[in-house]
Amino acid sequence: MSHSIDIQSAPIDRVVSALTQRLDTERLTQNVSQASLAQTAGVSRRTVIRMAAGEGVSLESYVRVALALGLTDALSTLLTPPELRPLEQLTRKPARQRASRGSTDDTVAWHWGDENAP
């Protein structure tokens, strides 16, 4: 079965099926049994069987199986930050480290004991 699909226009279930079946194709290429892969990946054998059938699995299970098959380069591609053009690097503001405090009304000062005042 060909796993080449147009991701932009294909239904999500077809994309998921192609992704899970791709891992099974890699498993077969490496001559690894379903039971052995399941044990190495830390997932159930049923999860590996579902992937072979093109069924959806949790993202965690997918990543565990991909890593067990040594597909780290494919996963690393998704985690690599996009490159910025040189001009964008100069004008880009540094990434925020925490949320702002929100707006406060400094026109009225609060004092201890004011919470009971009318």
The string of pLDDT tens digits covering residues 25-59 is: 999 999 999 999 999 999 999 999 999 998 889 99
Measured CA to CA, the distance from residue 22 to residue 8 in angstroms comes to 18
Measured CA to CA, the distance from residue 8 to residue 11 in angstroms comes to 9
Cα torsion through 54, 1, 80, 97, rounded to 10: -30
Write down the pTM of the prediction. 0.63
* Predicted local confidence at residue 1, as pLDDT: 44
* Predicted local confidence at residue 4, as pLDDT: 73
Find out whether 46 and 4 touch, Cβ atoms under 8 Å.
no
Residue scoring higher pLDDT (73 or 2): 73
Cβ neighbour number for residue 32 with a 10 Å cutoff = 16
